Structure 1
Amino acid sequence: MMTILPVKGIAPKWGSDCFIAPNATIVGEVVMGNNCSVWFNAVIRGDVNSITIGNETNIQDGAVIHATYLKAATSIGNRVSVGHNAIVHGCTLHDNILIGMGAIVMDHAVVEPYTIIAAGSVVLEGTHCEGGYIYAGTPAKKIKPITEEQRALLNRLPDNYIMYSSWFS
């Protein structure tokens, strides 16, 4: 059963046509846009600081979105895909980004548009990831520019998740 809870009187809010899996957890000061999806076992904890999520963003299975008390809110843009078991913590993700499976993005990191954070990578606190590149490794480093195929993936993936969400209505 999904868990949607207020914290200190502030309840999560989301826009129209969002899919929230039956066992997802969303608590506290969380605001999501339209056509978002929060998948199985994902956790979005807006208990210690705010979390904002734009339109057409998908938070995939087992991902954790959190922040740091009195230090770092989390801001996720439009058309972002947060991969399975990724951790997004107290950072800023701009639009059209893929956070790969199992990747970690830490406090005060900033990821610019059209960026791929490779699976299993760790973006350290305060890192600035320039748009249009792939970052990989621990700590994550700029590897190479994204290709046109990868740019197309970043444009297509959110639409896929909107379609997958429709299967559950």
Structure 2
Amino acid sequence: MMSNPGLVLGLINKRINYNIGRTLTELGLQMDRYGSKMSSDLAFRLNFSRHRQILPLYDSIPETKSTWIAPNATLVGNVILSKYATIWYGAVIRAEQNPIRIGHFTSIGDRTTIHSHHSLQHTLTSSVNIGKNVSVGANCNLHSCIIDDDCVIGDNSVIQQGARLERGCQILPNTIVVSGSLIPAGQVWGGRPARFVRTLTEQEQLNNYARSYTEGAGEFTSEEGNRVWPHQFDDAPLQDGEQSIENYTEEHYFKVKH
């Protein structure tokens, strides 16, 4: 793959430009700090945060169109967010090694950490793939794993590398799903390590889908919520053949099948 001299030179040139850009950026920040101290040291009075939500890693830039990301959340590298996903306060998503993909309507809870490994056994995925309408609770840790659509993961849970959660399953709070585990569709698992608890009824699965979707919107019904919620999230123009958020939700999550 690297035998083409033009490709090699192009990658080297891109890496050199990236490092020069970082050096100039840091130099500018350092000059800004010294200039502020020389003029008047008012840093302790300034209400200013240098926190960056989006951190490109070389040529890998997180894709976040029509999503909501909390002001103090962090996305690093090759992170791909689908429309209407929400990343909550203090969450960290690190895709330095392999991609992390998060589907439509999925919610990542407060202070949750998601990261991908460089490589695993040939039978295990080293990326992170999270489907649509998934609810991940607060303080969770997700390593390289696959989470299918409509799953619910309780607070303080750990999903280790190579694990797979099939569609509609539920992980109880404070659970550890060990490496290489397979959680079957429509089941409840809990414990350390995770063990089978019971099977969800069809009504419980429908309730999980509805609650996962509506909880995210319900957080922003207050005046404060309406102020911080991005208006383009609701007003994003539809492309040709694309459904509105209301029609998509009605068809996929609230339509009862007979």
Task: Report the TM-score, using the length of structure 2 for normalisation.
Answer: 0.62
Q: Select 1:123's aligned residue among 163, 168, 177.
A: 177
1:150 and 1:87 mapped to 2: Cα distance?
25
Q: Deviations over 1:14-33 (max 9, x none)?
A: 232x1100000001000010
In the alignment, is residue 63 of structure 1 matched against residue 112 of structure 2? yes
1:141 and 1:8 mapped to 2: Cα distance?
41
Q: Deviations over 1:101-155 (max 9, x none)?
A: 0001111111001100110000000000000000000110111001345313321
- Matching of residues 82-101 of structure 1 within 5 Å: 82-101=136-155
Gaps of 5+ in 1: none
Distance 1:98 1:2, change over 3 A: farther
2:220 and 2:151 mapped to 1: Cα distance?
19
2:52 and 2:58 mapped to 1: Cα distance?
19
1:40 and 1:2 mapped to 2: Cα distance?
13
Paired letter, 2:53: T
Distance 1:146 1:122, change over 3 A: same
1:139 and 1:46 mapped to 2: Cα distance?
26
* Bigger RCO of structures 1 and 2 (CA < 8 A, at least 6 apart): 1
Name the counterpart of 1:21: 70
Name the counterpart of 1:34: 83
Gaps of 5+ in 2: 1-50, 121-125, 230-258
* Structure with the higher helix share, 1 or 2: 2
Task: Report the TM-score, using the length of structure 1 for normalisation.
Answer: 0.93
Q: What is the Cα deviation at residue 2 of structure 1?
A: 4.3
1:11 and 1:165 mapped to 2: Cα distance?
28
The number of residues matched between the two structures is 168
Name the counterpart of 2:56: 6
Q: Select 1:162's aligned residue among 208, 214, 217.
A: 217
Name the counterpart of 1:142: 196
Name the counterpart of 1:110: 164
Structure whose alpha-carbon radius of gyration is higher: 2
